[in-house]
Amino acid sequence: MQGFTQNLSWYKCLGGTLDQDSIVMHLHKAGNSYEGVYYYNTTQQPVSFTGNDTSVPGKIQLMAYVPDAEQYETFLVTVDQDNANGEWKKTPAAEALKFTATTIKDARLTSFDYIYTQGGSVLMPAWKASSAANFSAASIWPAGSNRKADFIKQVIRKTVDKKAVSEDVGALLLKEKKAFIRDYKKEYAGEPESNLKEHPYSYNMEVVKSITVVYQSPAILSLAYASYAYTGGAHGNHGTTYINLNLKAQSRLRLNTVVTPGAKPVLGKLLAKYFRLSHKLAPDASLKENGLFEASITPTDNFYLTGKGIGFVYTPYEIGPYAMGEIDIFIPYTELSKYLQPGFGQLIK
């Protein structure tokens, strides 16, 4: 089993250009895997990506799925201490465009480490096809210690373990990993060997979790707490919960602190409008006939914030079938200018 480590994991906030466009990338490395978001500064609508190391040292490949276009974008990038350079393709067959970025060094922004752990257990070590359980978890963690950093640490701490008091996130992730492996061994300790050999995949388990940066400014921090769990059955379950922080007041940003009460009916209409736009539907197209469970969309408390818009995210089965995955509907603040709470409006100026 591997303990938590920092030399195999890091977080970089990169600013640069993709062809002629200014972008920001929040890049998180855990072992040989990568995840995060990038966005164009003109819109600040996050595009999520995952990736892996390539066979070339220092070179990584990132793949970003764009639901609106139902296509994958690719980055092939070389990363060193403070720089990232490479190419980006809108589609596999498209012309490669130049991507270049450097670490954003702004004393007003919080510096983060990225803490990572992984481990697992097999039920029958002597058998190659043995059932196994695998666990991996990672989280950002403020590098310093001051009032703002301590506030963020407490939020992350409680997100990982509601009972935690003062532990660092690394200790909490190790504790969770050990409990997962212990419970797995205990659950199948008395299982007949014949069952384990006849249906090995039925006893596999996997848990993957991460807390990553979606957006950061001197005033706002938006985090994504993503989790995936497979404990048997046809498929695993996954979802992302978002955490939004007012760094100036050291408080959580809830929907009622972002928009006024009068925004609720407007939000419903805007959610339907931007769902239709992202799925290339006619303005009056039926939502139910195009995949959703209901004819309307209700605002959710699960949202992320950027400097130019708010994204409402619905987990699988919440408003649509599993096959639709997570549904992310981004609404620019320009559509909500009359309904933003005055205090929140000051945070995005």
Q: H/E element holding 274?
A: helix 263-278
pLDDT at 161 over 90: yes
Of 3.30.565.40, 3.40.640.10, 3.30.465.10, 3.40.50.12240, which CATH number belongs to 112-252? 3.30.565.40
Residue 144: predicted pLDDT: 87
pLDDT (average), residues 99-122: 96
CATH architecture of 256-347: Alpha-Beta Complex (3.90)
- Over the stretch 245-290, which tens digit does the pLDDT of each residue have? 999 999 999 999 999 999 999 999 999 999 999 999 999 999 999 9
Average pLDDT over residues 88-107: 95
Q: Which residue has the tokens 């359980």?
A: 133
Which CATH code of 2.40.50.140, 2.40.128.120, 3.30.830.10, 3.90.550.10 fits the domain covering 2-103? 2.40.128.120
| DSSP collapsed to 3 states, 98-153 | EEEEEECCCCCCCCEEEEEEEEEEECCCCCCCCCEEEEEEEEEEECCCCHHHHHHH
* 88 torsion bin: left (phi>0), alpha (psi -120 to 50), beta (else): beta
Q: What is the rounded average pLDDT for all residues in the chain? A: 94
| pLDDT value of position 1 | 32
pLDDT tens digits for 52-74?
999 998 899 999 988 666 678 99
Domain boundaries, the chain: 2-103, 112-252, 256-347
Please state the pTM of the whole predicted model: 0.94
